[in-house]
Amino acid sequence: MQIPFHHFEQYIDETILKRGLSYFENGFVNPVEEITPGVYETLVEGTEAYRVQLKIDNEIITDYSCTCPFDSGPVCKHVAAVIFYLHKEHLEIKPAGKRKKSSGKGVKKKTIIEQVNELLEKIPDNELKDFIRNNTVNDAAFRNIFLSAFAHINSDESKELYAKQVRTILRSSAGRHGMIDYYAARYVGRAVAALLNAAQNHFDQSHFKSAMLICSAIMEEMTAALQFADDSNGDIGGNIDAAYSLLVQISEEKIPEEIRSGLFQYGLESFRQNIFHGWDWHFGMADLASGMVKTETEARQLLSVLSQRHENEYDSETAQRIKLNVLLNTGKEKEAGEFLEKHIANPSFRTAAIKKAMEQKNYDRAIALANDGVRLDLKNKPGLAMDWYDWLLRIAIKQKDSEKIIMYARILFTDSIRDKKEYYSLMKSNVAKEQWNHFAEGLVADLAERNRWAIHEIAAIYINEEWWNKLLDLIKQNPSLQTIENYEKHLSKNFSEELAELYEREILEFMNRNTGRNHYQTACKYLRRMKKLGAGERAGSIISTLRSRFPQRKALMEELEKV
């Protein structure tokens, strides 16, 4: 999400804004440094010290990150706190405590990169080398970044070199029993991300071998780590995904033959040896290799391993899809066509064949393929069968066949779990106007027969047709506070008294079943809704009843006072 710098309050959740402002005002935000023009970084004190980075371009916050575990929204309170810090002069707000004023008023502070460049020009080579030597001995994180960044210069560069670095990170994070807990996994994620940054830099400089070795080491070691780590926040898996994505990027570049061949062999062998078995990356590596095939020998090797027996139908279908890619990538159009027809039960193949037939306007062929899919999948894969019905509907629309449009739209409306608005609209526009009411009543009957919980789908029909009496009767048959609230706006104009009566009954029943302040607040919310409906006297009667019935519930008495 991009955030206008000067209007950030409109784009961030109000609760997060309040917490961010509180963090800033309490002095939890350390001085913000400009790393490079428009890129700001600092530490925000919280449960731990969390590193926040913002990028601002043309008065827009284009990117932001925080090392905290917050995952309930796009922006955390620490990021919000830093935005308030950057706005402190404009908003005329100050953190707790007074900092010593700078004597350089009006002088723009140098960015971090400007300071670094200035120092690099002045530091003697021998002092810089001594600094690097000392820090590689004393700081493991610095050592890993340094060795990874310049390994392409080292003749001893290998996948094992990087694997050792990853294993060092994992060992340093493991507990007494070798397990990596949730918080340690966050550290692992950040430390390995630094190696990935080095791999990205190598890629940007066309050092493809170094990038490939780093990524393959990360994938292997981090996949193994998933067996003994709490990765509920996705720090480890996220790094594996990023490493795989960079390998794919390498495969799409114009790379030397040595790199192409090495990447193909790695994809082939990692699949053959089941290095990533049980994870998405297992077939991902075969897919990667399929795009790198260049010779007949390589094609045979990959087709051979893909032909091995697979554990389940999904794996078999995935292997078939990759096989088809190999045939197509090696120019074997005829063999590819025969293979597709032989395995037409594969959903991706059937879909491709239907699309091709549609493009060629061979509607008979498309209909036959879709009907065959329905026949094969309706019993055991009803969701997939709905895909084939959807294709039949598209064909009917192309052919302007109203009868079939109605038939397939009705099936999809009553039997699928998709968004039904389009299907409803298609039926209404194709059914004769004088027959529509009877048809719509039939839809209601179908929904009620197929799913006794289809109240909201039936209600949608009543709302579309403005059958308000039927909607009220439906709610009376399926009463709940939430249901009454959902449809109140449609009924309040003509049935406010009936709604108030329903609310009264459900509020009293709700309070008989539930205790606790949260539930009391819920009941009071609906009492206020009753008052908005003009049923203030009835709401007052309920309040009196609750006070009389539950006098010992102090929290309830407090909430009732607020109604």
- Domain ranges in the chain are 3-97, 140-335, 351-465, 476-561
Which pair of tokens denotes residue 3? 């955030």
3-state SS, residue 50: strand
What is d(CA 255, CA 177) in angstroms, rounded to the nearest whole number? 44
What are 193-204's pLDDT values in tens digits? 889 988 999 999
What average pLDDT does range 98-121 have in this prediction? 64
What average pLDDT does range 78-96 have in this prediction? 85
What average pLDDT does range 108-112 have in this prediction? 69
Among candidate residues 330, 329, 331, 327, the one with its CA nearest the CA of residue 340: 327
Report the range of poorest mean pLDDT among 30-34, 249-253, 277-281, 308-312.
Answer: 308-312
- The reported pLDDT for the residue numbered 152 is 67
Instruction: Give 487-495's long-range contacts (Cβ < 8 A, gap of 24+).
Output: 487/459, 487/463, 488/529, 488/533, 490/463, 492/533, 494/468, 495/468
Buried (b) or exposed (e) across 54-82, using 16+ Cβ within 10 A?
A: bbbeeeebeebebbbbbeeeebbbbbbbb
DSSP character for 73?
S
DSSP character for 151?
G
Token look-up 């007494």 returns 176
Among candidate residues 313, 311, 312, 293, the one with its CA nearest the CA of residue 303: 293
What does residue 94 show for φ and ψ, rounded to 5 degrees?
-135, 145
- The reported pLDDT for the residue numbered 109 is 64
Per the CB < 8 A criterion, the answer to whether 260 and 252 are in contact is no
What average pLDDT does range 355-360 have in this prediction? 95
Task: Indicate the pLDDT class of residue 119, thresholds 50, 70 and 90.
Answer: confident
Buried (b) or exposed (e) across 279-298, using 16+ Cβ within 10 A?
A: bebbbbbbbbbbbbbeeeeb
Residue 96 scores a pLDDT above 70: no
SS3 content of the chain, % helix, strand, coil (to 5): 70, 5, 25
* CA distances from residue 224 to 170, 173, 219, 229, 236 in whole angstroms, order as listed: 10, 15, 9, 9, 10
- The reported pLDDT for the residue numbered 97 is 55
Q: Beta strands 3-4 and 33-36: pairing type?
A: unpaired
- The reported pLDDT for the residue numbered 268 is 96
Report the range of poorest mean pLDDT among 31-35, 250-254, 318-322, 524-528.
Answer: 31-35
- The reported pLDDT for the residue numbered 144 is 73
pTM for the model? 0.65
Residue 98 scores a pLDDT above 50: no
DSSP character for 37?
T
Per the CB < 8 A criterion, the answer to whether 222 and 240 are in contact is yes
What average pLDDT does range 218-246 have in this prediction? 93
Task: Indicate the pLDDT class of residue 104, thresholds 50, 70 and 90.
Answer: very low
Q: What stretch of H or E contains 387?
A: helix 382-398
In sign, the C-alpha dihedral spanning 344, 349, 353, 355 is positive
Token look-up 């530490």 returns 43
What does residue 455 show for φ and ψ, rounded to 5 degrees?
-55, -45
What are 298-352's pLDDT values in tens digits? 999 999 999 888 888 899 999 999 999 999 988 999 999 999 999 999 999 999 9
Which pair of tokens denotes residue 27? 């002095």
Q: What angle do CA 277, 279, 285 make, to 5 degrees?
A: 75
What is d(CA 330, CA 325) in angstroms, rounded to the nearest whole number? 8
What is d(CA 326, CA 287) in angstroms, rounded to the nearest whole number? 9
Which pair of tokens denotes residue 187? 């550290």
What average pLDDT does the structure give for the chain? 90
Per the CB < 8 A criterion, the answer to whether 194 and 225 are in contact is no
What is d(CA 249, CA 258) in angstroms, rounded to the nearest whole number? 16
Which pair of tokens denotes residue 442? 């039939």
What are 389-402's pLDDT values in tens digits? 999 999 999 999 99
The answer for residues whose C-beta is within 8 angstroms of residue 425's C-beta and 6 or more apart is none
Burial of 342 (0-12, 13-18, 19+ CB in 10 A): exposed
Token look-up 């929904």 returns 447
Q: For the chain, give the percent of residues with pLDDT over 90.
A: 66
Per the CB < 8 A criterion, the answer to whether 202 and 211 are in contact is yes
- The reported pLDDT for the residue numbered 110 is 73
Residue 441 scores a pLDDT above 70: yes
- The reported pLDDT for the residue numbered 533 is 93
Of 101 and 60, the structure prediction assigns the larger pLDDT to 60
Token look-up 């008294």 returns 497
Which pair of tokens denotes residue 488? 């109140």
Among candidate residues 127, 247, 249, 144, the one with its CA nearest the CA of residue 191: 144
Residue 185 scores a pLDDT above 60: yes
Task: Indicate the pLDDT class of residue 101, thresholds 50, 70 and 90.
Answer: very low
395 CB neighbour count, 10 Å cutoff: 21
Task: Indicate the pLDDT class of residue 563, thresholds 50, 70 and 90.
Answer: confident
- The reported pLDDT for the residue numbered 208 is 94
Among candidate residues 110, 149, 146, 109, the one with its CA nearest the CA of residue 128: 146
What are 261-290's pLDDT values in tens digits? 999 999 999 999 999 998 989 999 999 999
The answer for residues whose C-beta is within 8 angstroms of residue 245's C-beta and 6 or more apart is none
Residue 451 scores a pLDDT above 80: no
- The reported pLDDT for the residue numbered 155 is 61
Burial of 507 (0-12, 13-18, 19+ CB in 10 A): buried
What is d(CA 285, CA 267) in angstroms, rounded to the nearest whole number? 5
What is d(CA 239, CA 35) in angstroms, rounded to the nearest whole number? 24
